[in-house]
Amino acid sequence: MKNLLLSLLLLGSLSAENLRIDTIAENFRDPMEISIAPDGSVYVLEREGRLLRVNPDTGGTFVIGELPVTALRESDKKSPYAREDGGLGLTLAPDFATSQELYLYYSHPTELLNRLSRFTLKGGLLDLSSEQKIFDVITDRRDTVCHQGGSLKFSPDGLLFLSTGDNTNPFESGGKAPIDDREERDHTDAMRSSGNTNDLRGKVLRIRPTKDGYEIPAGNLFKLGTPDTRAEIYVMGCRNPFRLSLDPKTGYIYWGEVGPDARKADAKGPMGYDEINQARQAGNFGWPFLIGDNKPYPILDFTTGKPGTLTDPAAPRNPGSRNTGLEILPPAQKAFIWYPYSKSSEFPVMESGGRNAMAGPIFYHDAKRPWNLLSKEDDHSLITYDWMRGKLWKAKLDQNDDLEKLVKISDGLRHPMDLELAADGSYWLLEYGSGWYFNRDGRVRRIRPGGGNEAPSLEVEAVAGQANRWQVKSASDPENEKITVEWWLTIGTAETKLATGSTVTVPANTGSELRAVAIDASGNRSIARVPLNGANQQPKLELELAADTLAPGGTLGFKVKGLGDPSQAVVRLRYIAPAGHDSGVISLSKPVTKTLTARLCFACHQTDAKSIGPRYTDVALRYKDQPKALETLKEKLKKGGSGTWGEIPMPPQLAITEQEADAALRAVLALGDVMSETTGSAAGTLQAPTTLPDHEPGGAWEITAEARGHQTTRLRIAAE
C-alpha cells in the first residue's frame, strides 16, 4: 500500500494525454445517456423525454421520439417536486441491428414510480405502443427528494444492469448519512431504500430480459425466494450510482457513486466522498452506514442529535423502522477510488473541487481496430471522469484487477455525462451542458488519439444578395490534403444530400438545419452548421482559459474566439461557494427575494438574466468598490430616473420601506464581492477577489463570455 500511495503522489504532476476531441452534434437539452448502434449511430435520451439519433458522418441530429415523463420543467423551475426525475437511462438491445429494440428507464408521467421498459423502433421512430414493461421501481418525488441513478448496460452474455439511486432528500442531514428515523421523515431516510434488502432503490440491479419479462440470473446478492429480499439486487448500499461500466473480459462492473457534502469529519460521521466502485461479485457497498474505504457513520438520533453506535463494516445493521428487509446486512465492501472536495491524500491526482464521479469503459488495446485511445502499455485501464470537475482519468489495472496507477488524461470538458466505446475504438462523450438544469448546449463529441492526420477547418456564410444560398467562407487542411465539401439538409427526422462543392442553394421553406461537411483525403471530417428555423441563429463564442484552477487573489488569462467586434466582449469571473448540489444559479436570500417580489422589482430586473432593466449582477459590478454605492442606489430607488442603463426610465419605488431598501441593496451589492469582469477585449486577464465567503474545499469559479448578438458561453474551473 505504501508503494501504491507513493506512486499516486508522484502521478499528480503528470500532464494530460494528447487526445483529439471533435464536436459532432450539439444543442441537446439536458442529455442523460447515450448508446452506440452497430452502424455507428449515436442514440441520446434527454431528461425531459426526447429520444434522438445522431449520424456521426454528417452530424445530423433527429428527434425520433417523445417519451412522456415526469420531470422538473422550465415552467416551474424552483419546484421541490421531481428534482431529478425524467428520462434516466438508455441502452440498445444486444440484437438491435435486427430487432430495433431498446430499453428505457424513466419516471412515469402519472404514477409514483420509475419504469424499465423495452420499446421498438418502427421506421426509425420510437413506437410508444410497442412498450413492454419489464418492472417498476416505486419512488418518492416530494420535498426535494432526488437521486434516481438510471444507467443501463448490457453484459456480453445478455444480462442487463440498471443503477438506481437512494431516492432520498440529502439536504437535511448536514452532509452526513440520511438516516432520519423520526415519524414523517421517510423522505430523509435512506435506511428505507439503499440499506433495505427488500427495496430496489439505491442498488445495481441485474436481470436477464426475456420475451415476456425477465429472469433472475445465478449469482445475484440474494437467491430467488429468500425472505425479506429482492432477487434482482446485484449490488446494494448505493447513494446515487452513475454510469455503469462492465469489463467484457472479467465481468466486473464499475460505477461512479455521487457522495454526500460534509466537508469535515466529526462525531456525526466522516467527511463526504465520491467513489469509483468495482464489484467483482454481488455485494453490499455500505451506504447509508459507511462510505469511502468503509469509514463508518454512527446511528444518529435525529431527535436529540446524539450519535450512537458506529456501524461495523463486517456486519452492518439496519435499525430503521421503515426497513422492510433484513436487519443484519451483508459485509460492506470498500470503494475502489474515493475522494472528497479537498485534495485527496490517497488519490491526489483527482485534485479538488466539486465532484460527481462517473465510471467509463474499460480500455483494451486492439491493434486490429482503427483507433486505440491509449497506448499498448495502458491495456486494461478503466476510464473514469467527473461531471463537476470536467476531467478524464485512466486507472491502470494490474493483473489482479487492483489499481496500479491513476493519471489525468483530459480536462476542460462541459459536464461529461456519459462515455461509450464504439466498435472502431473511438470513444463517444456526452456532455450535459453548462448548467444544472434547462441546458440547450449539450454536446455529443468523438474522442480519438491526438497527433497524426488532423481534420480540416471549415467556415460557411450566406451569399450576399442571394436568398437561400450559402458558400464556403474558408476551408483548409493541416496536411494540405484535398478537401471535399458536402452539403446536407435536415428535413424532419431524415436528411438529404443537396450538393458537393463550394456553394449550395437550399429550397425555400424546407428543412431545419443545413450542414457543410468538409472531408479530407484521409477521411477526417469537420462540420459547420446553419440553423434554418430561427433557433440558435446567434453565433457562438468559444472561451479558452490559461489554467484549470485559480486561487483567491490570483489572475486568470483568457481568450474569446468567434467575436465579430472584440470591443463588445464582456468576460466575467464568479466564485461559487461549496454548497453541494450547486445549480450554478446566482440567487439572493429568501427574505430579499420576497421583498423584491412583493415590490414588483422582478418585473423589470432579474438577478442574472436579461430583462427590461439591468441585471442585479450588472448593478453589483458597476458599483463595486464605490464607497457611497449604497447611498447612491437608495437615492435612485426613491427618485427613479433614466439614462444610466438606457432609455427606459425606472419609476420611483415609493412603496419600499427604508429597511427593505437597505437589506435588498446590500444583498445586490454583495453579489459583486465574488465577481470581477474584463470588458472590451477578446484576450486578457481576470482578477479573482482576494477575500471570499465560505472559502472551503469544493468551491469553483465560473467564467462567462458574452457579447451582443452572440450566444453566451461559460466554463468552470476549481477554486484552490
pLDDT in tens, 338-393: 999 889 999 999 998 888 999 999 999 999 999 999 999 999 999 999 998 899 99
Tell how strand 214-215 and strand 241-246 pair up: unpaired
Please tell me whether the peptide bond between 416 and the residue prior to it is cis, using omega within 30 degrees of 0.
Answer: no
Specify the pLDDT at position 644. Answer: 73
Q: Are both 287 and 177 inside the same structural domain?
A: yes
Percent of the residues in the chain that have a pLDDT greater than 90, as a whole number: 71
Q: CB of 359 within 8 A of CB of 406?
A: no
Specify the pLDDT at position 640. Answer: 75
- Given 465, 497, 531, the domain boundary residue is 531
Query: d(Cα 386, Cα 94) in Å, to the nearest integer?
Result: 28
Query: d(Cα 39, Cα 52) in Å, to the nearest integer?
Result: 15
Q: For residue 105, is it within any domain?
A: no
Q: Are both 430 and 293 inside the same structural domain?
A: yes
Measured in Å, how far apart are the chain's first and last C-alpha atoms?
28
Q: CB of 30 within 8 A of CB of 437?
A: yes
Q: Are both 527 and 575 inside the same structural domain?
A: no
* Cα angle 429, 337, 446; round to 5: 10
pLDDT tens for 493-540 read 999 999 999 999 999 888 999 999 999 999 999 999 999 875 545 677
- Given 384, 417, 449, the domain boundary residue is 449
Of 220-229, 243-252, 549-558, 610-619, give the lowest mean pLDDT range. 610-619
Q: For residue 159, is it within any domain?
A: yes
Query: d(Cα 38, Cα 118) in Å, to the nearest integer?
Result: 18
Tell me the residue ranges of DSSP E strands in 297-371.
Answer: 298-301, 306-310, 337-339, 357-363
Question: CB under 8 Å to 158, separation ≥6 — which residues?
Answer: 94, 208, 209
Instruction: Assess whether pLDDT exceeds 60 at residue 581.
Output: no
- Choose from 3-17, 317-331, 346-360 the range with maximum mean pLDDT: 317-331
Specify the pLDDT at position 714. Answer: 84
Q: Are both 165 and 205 inside the same structural domain?
A: yes
Q: For residue 68, is it within any domain?
A: no
pLDDT tens for 22-70 read 999 999 999 999 999 999 999 999 999 999 999 999 999 999 999 999 9
Q: Are both 496 and 412 inside the same structural domain?
A: no
Q: How many CB atoms lie within 10 A of CB 166?
A: 31
Q: CB of 394 within 8 A of CB of 406?
A: yes
CATH code (residue 228): 2.120.10
pLDDT band (50, 70, 90) for residue 685: very high
Cell numbers given for 439: 441546458
Specify the pLDDT at position 213. Answer: 96
Q: Are both 468 and 592 inside the same structural domain?
A: no
Q: How many CB atoms lie within 10 A of CB 247?
A: 20
User: Which amino acid makes up residue 646?
Assistant: G
**Cβ-defined contacts of 314-320 (< 8 Å, 24+):** 316/195, 316/237, 316/284, 316/286, 316/289, 316/290, 317/289, 318/191, 318/195, 318/196, 318/289, 319/181, 319/191, 320/179, 320/181, 320/189, 320/191, 320/192, 320/195, 320/196
- Given 511, 531, 551, the domain boundary residue is 531
Query: d(Cα 187, Cα 172) in Å, to the nearest integer?
Result: 10
Q: Are both 148 and 230 inside the same structural domain?
A: yes
Q: For residue 43, is it within any domain?
A: no
Q: Are both 480 and 340 inside the same structural domain?
A: no
Q: CB of 294 within 8 A of CB of 237?
A: no
Q: For residue 123, is it within any domain?
A: no
Q: For residue 425, is it within any domain?
A: yes
C-alpha R_g of the chain: 26
Q: Are both 462 and 578 inside the same structural domain?
A: no
**Three-state SS sequence of 120-141:** EEECCEEEEEEEEEEEEEECCC
Q: Tally DSSP H helices, then E strands, for the chain.
A: 6, 45
Q: Are both 266 and 176 inside the same structural domain?
A: yes
Q: Are both 223 and 341 inside the same structural domain?
A: yes
Which of these, 151, 156, 66, lies nearest to 103 by C-alpha position? Answer: 151
Distances from the Cα of 578 to the Cα of 291, 443, 692, 694, 696, angstroms: 20, 26, 11, 7, 7
Percent of the residues in the chain that have a pLDDT greater than 70, as a whole number: 95
CATH code (residue 705): 1.10.760.10
Domain coverage including residue 209: 2-31+143-449
pLDDT band (50, 70, 90) for residue 643: low
Query: d(Cα 532, Cα 536) in Å, to the nearest integer?
Result: 9
Instruction: Work out the burial of residue 440: count CB atoms within 10 Å of its CB; fewer than 13 is exposed, 13-18 middle, 19 or more buried.
Output: middle
Q: For residue 92, is it within any domain?
A: no
Instruction: Assess whether pLDDT exceeds 70 at residue 584.
Output: no
Of 162-171, 181-190, 702-711, give the lowest mean pLDDT range. 702-711
Q: Are both 520 and 617 inside the same structural domain?
A: no
CATH code (residue 490): 2.60.40
Per-residue pLDDT averaged across 481-492, rounded? 96
Specify the pLDDT at position 559. Answer: 94
Q: How many domains would you assign to the chain?
A: 3
Q: For residue 237, is it within any domain?
A: yes
Per-residue pLDDT averaged across 646-663, rounded? 78
Query: d(Cα 60, Cα 40) in Å, to the nearest integer?
Result: 13
Query: d(Cα 177, Cα 169) in Å, to the nearest integer?
Result: 11
Specify the pLDDT at position 78. Answer: 82
